[in-house]
Amino acid sequence: MLHALYLLGTASFAASGVLAAHRALMAVDAVGLAVVTVIGARAAMDAQVTPVAVLILAVLTGVTGEVVRDVLRGEFPPLLLREEVYATAALAGAAAHLGLHRAGAPDTANTAVCAALVFALRLAAVFRDLDLPRLQGAPR
Q: State the Rg of the chain over Cα.
A: 19
Of residues 23 and 139, the one with the higher pLDDT is: 23
Percent of the chain with pLDDT strictly greater than 90: 44
Q: Measuring CA to CA, how many Å separate 22 from each of 14, 16, 82?
A: 12, 10, 19
pLDDT computed for residue 138 by the predictor: 57
| Residues 75, 89 contacting (CB under 8 angstroms) | no
pLDDT one-digit tens code per residue, 47-105: 999 999 999 999 999 888 787 777 777 777 655 556 678 888 999 999 999 999 999 99
Dihedrals phi, psi of 84, to nearest 5 degrees: -70, 150
Distance of CA 41 to the CA centre of its chain: 15
**Residue 26 or residue 104, greater confidence:** 104
Cis peptide before 77 (omega within 30 of 0): yes
Judged by average pLDDT, the poorest of 3-7, 15-19, 78-82, 128-132 is 3-7
pLDDT of residue 9: 47
